[in-house]
Chain A
């Protein structure tokens, strides 16, 4: 079956602009996670959805970052007033139920570059 998909694969934007990153999880997976990975670092948690609701948004760095999952499937990560420090690979993962023993399957990521 299809894995986690993310679009776009690459996004270049200018400082101060608004961007949206999309994640389409594996069909039937209720849990969806957003992580951010900078060069030479491991993925860093941003936000976790269980169904349509954000179960844990403690990883969002500030109020410029926001994410939605209105129908419990596709999710969009939104970044306002982008800064150069936002440049990273944004990874989306999904799992069947979100239980601690679930495997999280990662998408290919969106590489965001803020000039």
Chain B
């Protein structure tokens, strides 16, 4: 059973702070890793993708991947109230074409 684990939260941070979201996965053969944002009642929207160990930065977002520890994280700098949403970690567990395995999501609340 391929599993992706996330703390369900809620994670509350003040506006302007750094929000840190974490995810672990069970399949050591996983190849691709994605962070999706989901506003209440809406569909998931891709925020970041990462495929190699290390950091990947895009604007206020940084994804971090450590395959040895089977750990992926998302940092949101200068958090804004509009960042308040559920963040879903998704893992592609096989090489080649593949569906995603999602975690349950972490609910983030940015307090103004």
Interface size on B (CB < 8 Å)?
27
Complex Cα gap A42–B88 (Å): 7
Complex CA distance for A55 and B98, rounded to whole angstroms: 9
Residue interface mask B21-57, A partner, CB < 8 A = 1:
0000000000110100000001111100101000000
CB contacts under 8 Å to A, within B49-90, are 49, 51, 88, 90
Tell me if A100 and B45 are in contact (CB < 8 A): no
> Closest approach, in angstroms, between the C-beta of B100 and any C-beta of chain A?
7
Known A-B contacts A31-B97, A100-B32; the reply to A108 vs B104 at CB < 8 A is no
Which one of B8, B90, B99, B102 lies within 8 Å of A48 (CB-CB)? Answer: B99
Interface string of A20-52 (1 = CB under 8 A from B): 000000000001010100001111110010100
Q: In the complex, A35 Cα to B43 Cα: how many Å? A: 11
Interface residue range, chain A: 20 to 34
Q: Which B-chain residue is minimally distant from A30 (CB atoms)?
A: B97
| Cβ contact within 8 Å between B99 and A45 | yes
Distance between Cα atoms of A103 and B69 in the complex (Å): 24
Minimum CB distance partner of B88 in chain A: A42
Chain A positions within 8 Å of B4 at CB level: 42
Establish whether residues B43 and A91, one from each chain, have CB atoms under 8 Å apart when the complex forms.
yes
Knowing A106-B43, A108-B42, A109-B43, the reply to whether A101 touches B98 (Cβ < 8 A) is: no
Which of B34, B88, B95, B99 is most buried by chain A, counting CB atoms within 10 A of its CB? B99
- B102–A100 CB distance below 8 A: no
18 A-B contacts (beta carbon < 8 Å): A35-B99, A35-B102, A40-B104, A41-B105, A42-B4, A42-B90, A42-B102, A43-B44, A45-B100, A48-B97, A59-B99, A100-B92, A100-B96, A101-B32, A103-B34, A105-B46, A107-B43, A109-B43
List residues of chain B with CB under 8 Å of any chain A CB.
4, 8, 31-32, 34, 42-46, 49, 51, 88, 90, 92, 94-105
